[in-house]
Amino acid sequence: MSTARRHPLGALGYPDFSRFLFARFFSTLAVQMQSVAVGWQVYAITHDPLDLGFIGLAQFMPFLC
Share of the chain above pLDDT 70, in %: 94
Does the pLDDT value for residue 49 go beyond 90?
Answer: yes
Amino acid at 47: H
Q: What is the pTM of this model?
A: 0.73
Residue type, 60: F
Q: What is the chain's percent helix, strand, coil content, to nearest 5?
A: 80, 0, 20
